[in-house]
Structure 1
């Protein structure tokens, strides 16, 4: 059973199962501040948990909960509250903390979509040189769940390709694919937080170089 209709929900259709509830409906904008949006997701989650039965709940959270610069943001506080509610009220769950998703369509404000739009439309933008980002192909989230969902019970998993990309690495890959140069200024700013990846994630991405992974993303989605 899949709850939601966005990028994550649509990408999970091939592994949909009556044994699992994929909770892929929620607040997609990390800059959201309206309490009504957060309350809507909480109410939906609460009602879902009351009707899960023996099925496993898979909830999609965010790696941003590790970002010290965002500890007081409405979005991060909400995601942590949702995680805690699940842990207290479910006997069968898996929480995936997701990095920056790259996929077909989806939120235009995600990092990859934003940079692609700025470059292809020759818009000026600013690059924070100290920033590092963790990327994840939406297809890899689906594949990871297909092979690991049963094995990982009552757990929180940090889910992203385990490499911290410099923004100019990502820009360079997009420039190469689009054959357009980005118009940007540079600022000595940016955030960077470390994440501990489990053996399941490291094993899943074993043998793939950061360069190859980034090139695959640009070839697939640009």
Structure 2
């Protein structure tokens, strides 16, 4: 579903207010949010919510997801924009790429935790996984013959990226039981399970 901004190029204040209200509600764990709640919090009517989001909360959740996705992707691109790729060894590049993806998604932890239970066509960590896999492919080329040839490289890149994303999800969920370690410690553990040909003999946080 396209937002009014996508269709006209101009922001719709009511649309944005509804999505931001939903974002606030996602931080209230266990809270069931009705369209009436959203309308009240956004300072509008139920009819106005449905006019912009015909499926109610499902459409609003999708819109919020897209906003967060754009923010994560912009953060990832900005993080790597100033990196001189020719000045770093391939393993350092790999650690940098993994760090950028993990940290960008981890910054959205409250939203990520709630959105895991939503029915959405694509999730933040899934799109971030695809981006990381895309970044890993040229790094494979730099690493050369050390990259295992048992599967095609795009498959291997997706496998490694998805593994990092799954570890990230488990780290986010660990907050539910009070067992979440600091992000820096979690990140080090990711490098420790990655193959040394990709992240080097002495994996460390970027």
Give TM-score, length-normalised by structure 2. Answer: 0.32
> Whose helix proportion is higher, 1 or 2?
2
Give TM-score, length-normalised by structure 1. Answer: 0.30
Larger radius of gyration: 2
